[in-house]
Amino acid sequence: MHETDLAVIGSGPAGMAAAAEAAGLGLRVALFDDQPRPGGQAYRDVDRVGPMRGAVLGPDFVEGRRLTAALDDPRISHLGGAGVWAIEPGFTICYSQAGEARLLRARRVLLATGALERPMPVPGWTLPGVMTAGAGQILLKQAGLVPRRSVLVGTGPLLYLFAVQMVRAGINPAALIETQTRGDLARALRHMGGLFGGWGYMTEGWRLLRVLQRAGVPRIVGAHEIAIEGEDRAEAVRFRRGGAQHRLPCDTVFLHHGVVPNPQAARSLGLDHRWEPRQQCFVPVCDAWGEAASAEGGVEGVFVAGDGAGIGGARAAELQGRLAALRIAEGLDRIGNEECDGRAKPLRRQLRRELAVRPFLDAAYPPFAEALRPDDTTMVCRCEEVTAGEIRRAAAQGCPGPNRLKGFLRAGMGPCQGRVCGLAVTQILAEATGQSPDETGYFHIRPPIKPLTLGALAALAETGEAAGTDKTAPGQGDAA
């Protein structure tokens, strides 16, 4: 089996920065990504973006080329289009690429698997034409597609950025329907300290809002009772503001009320997680280097960097990736303790500055309350079509948590393995049973965490490959 020093899972800002830093310190790195090309979601396919699209997306996007360029190092092997379906302690990385299952041994693992959109179950959210705002941005970044007649629904600065990108592309969204209230903003102002620390982000935010205002994009703040209407696809968004009902026709609806760590790889390794009340999501328990706390009998040598460790955004992710790489290099005796600390110091200072604005943002743009408590008829698990009411009924019949739920309903057992609904299921159950999210827990995630065809697995068996054997895997998989 091929071997490498460090396996990095995910080639977004955290993964790319970590790979470059680690390679610079002499480590061989395998950088895995299920997308064919590096960039992650923040810098999706940035290398293939032409000047026109670059201008629409803005300098913060094309900035990502600095990170992709740094991957041009003989010690880094970028494994694109590679779905990592299992990580076995020790470590063996099991992945499929080009229809073949392959194995790679690594001494350390860094999870840089980024964020997922917070589930936003509102009536009609499964209709074709409804997507996450992140998906809309990806269509723009990767394919240069702009929706003809769209509405943005939810809350958070990402909605402003995406709307401004549409304005720059020449097709304004029909409206922004925002769920935060003026009261949220007032409460957020308590975090003034963070405001000053994150001054750059604040002025950027105001600049975006000014562009929208000048372009005449209507903003509706404090919307509620949101539902998407349509027969076979989205046709309109219905909502209420104050006492009045409104209906806005459109073809495309973009939903967004924040992002949360993508838990799949970290959960599959059994890492400890805790509920983060400010971000309203679970985060893996890690030290200041991103090294996951190893519970008794748990795995050691796993690091988490970027949004997967708690939401901080692309620039923070990059810094966290570098910090993790330093510590990993130290652990593998590439650098001494002092050099590690010395190099880390300026990174930590920058990281503090990057994260300063977060408490303000989390308070000013809280998750949409109705989507955290969907009404009984709203579908929560998209794969198996399970409603919030069914989940509450299961709770009333004595179901205490997500894993026992599988005995009642098929929620979380579909192909997405709870990636979309997991957090919503925990929160609905927690509210119904009166337990905390920590007590309620989350779906057990077991490998394979990515689809694996039987053909690919059979091919693996034929080569006599199995974790622990020493044969050479076919094809690529080695670093340098």
| Residue 233 binds another protein (CB under 8 A) | yes
Please give the distance of CA 308 from its chain centroid, rounded to a whole number: 6
Strand locations in 183-298 (E): 219-221, 224-229, 236-241, 244-249, 252-256, 259-261, 273-276, 281-284
| Residue 52 binds another protein (CB under 8 A) | yes
Task: Find the binding residues for another protein in span 321-380 (CB under 8 A).
Answer: none
What's the CA gap between 322 and 328, in Å, rounded? 10
Report the nearest approach of another protein to the CB of residue 214 (Å). Answer: 21
- Of 128 and 193, which has the nearer Cβ to another protein? 128
| Residue 131 binds another protein (CB under 8 A) | yes
Report the nearest approach of another protein to the CB of residue 447 (Å). Answer: 16
Task: Find the binding residues for another protein in span 139-158 (CB under 8 A).
Answer: 139-140, 142-149
- Give me the amino acid identity at 376: D
- Of 180 and 387, which has the nearer Cβ to another protein? 387
Between CA 306 and CA 312, with CA 310 as vertex, the angle to 5 degrees is 60
| Residue 11 binds another protein (CB under 8 A) | no
Out of 26, 126, 396, 458, the only residue in the binding site for another protein (CB under 8 A) is 126
| Residue 130 binds another protein (CB under 8 A) | yes
CB atoms within 10 A of CB 69: 11
| Residue 18 binds another protein (CB under 8 A) | no
| Residue 172 binds another protein (CB under 8 A) | no
What's the CA gap between 18 and 30, in Å, rounded? 11
Do the strands 244-249 and 236-241 form a parallel or antiparallel pair, or are they unpaired? Answer: antiparallel
CB atoms within 10 A of CB 189: 12
- Of 18 and 386, which has the nearer Cβ to another protein? 386
Report the nearest approach of another protein to the CB of residue 400 (Å). Answer: 25
Strand, helix or coil for residue 255: strand
- Of 53 and 257, which has the nearer Cβ to another protein? 53
Torsion sign, CA atoms 270, 82, 108, 104 = positive
Report the nearest approach of another protein to the CB of residue 46 (Å). Answer: 14
Do the strands 29-32 and 76-79 form a parallel or antiparallel pair, or are they unpaired? Answer: parallel
Query: Can you give the binding site for another protein, defined by CB under 8 A?
Result: 34-36, 41, 45, 50, 52-53, 56, 81, 83, 116-117, 126-132, 134-135, 138-140, 142-149, 169, 171, 232-233, 251-252, 262, 382-385, 414-416, 419-420, 451, 453
